[in-house]
Amino acid sequence: MLLKIVQVGAEVLRQPARPLSREEILGEETPRLIEFMRETMHEAPGVGLAAPQVGLPLQLAVIEDLAEYHRLVPPERLAERERTPVPFQVLINPKIVFRDSVTAEFFEGCLSLEGFSAVVPRSRSVRVECLDEHAAPQMIEASGWYARILQHEIDHLEGRLYIDRMHSRTFTNLDNFSRFWKEASPTEIRAKLG
């Protein structure tokens, strides 16, 4: 079942989400919600989806960066972004316990800000503690685009959107992103912005 993705302006996107209990994680509703969120993320298509984006203030997110999404991206862009496929993962009650002081700046979009993009600085690597869909503790160490996806989704669970972190002068609609920015490297973007 596909879920409705709420758009910027919805109150649920600006509230911290509540943690899930072990009983909730192992109950009947959460596995069903996880599957619906996965289907919705794929249909969008996107690489991550947090429960607040489907109107539920819960600390639950799903991520997956499918290899098929990489086919249309030039290899040099994938390398520059340190982007490789990420298998399906469920993050419940996640906390970032380490953020690299080294940052990377790339254009980022969001399913809840449909049609827009902006350059967002993010830590190049992170360590995340969370529970999986079986309520088992997990420690995730990620770098590159994987780390960016994790930070983006965890921001949703804290009531933040990428527009809170973006370089505002880079905010653009997707048509203009394709016309002016899509092929630009981070160095070229910095030069264009002065």
Tokens of 84: 């490789």
Question: Residues with Cβ < 8 Å from 192, sequence gap 6 or more?
Answer: 184
Our CA angle for 163, 13, 117, nearest 5°, is 30
Distance CA 166, CA 110 (A): 12
Question: Which one, of 3, 28, 20, lies nearest residue 57 by Cα?
Answer: 20
Distance CA 192, CA 125 (A): 26
| 39 has catalytic annotation | no
Query: Which position among 82, 153, 158, 188 bears the catalytic label?
Result: 153
Q: Which amino acid is at 162?
A: Y
**103-126 burial by CB neighbour count: b if 16+ within 10 A, else e?**
ebebbbbbbbbeebbbbbebbbbb
The residues carrying an active-site annotation are 153
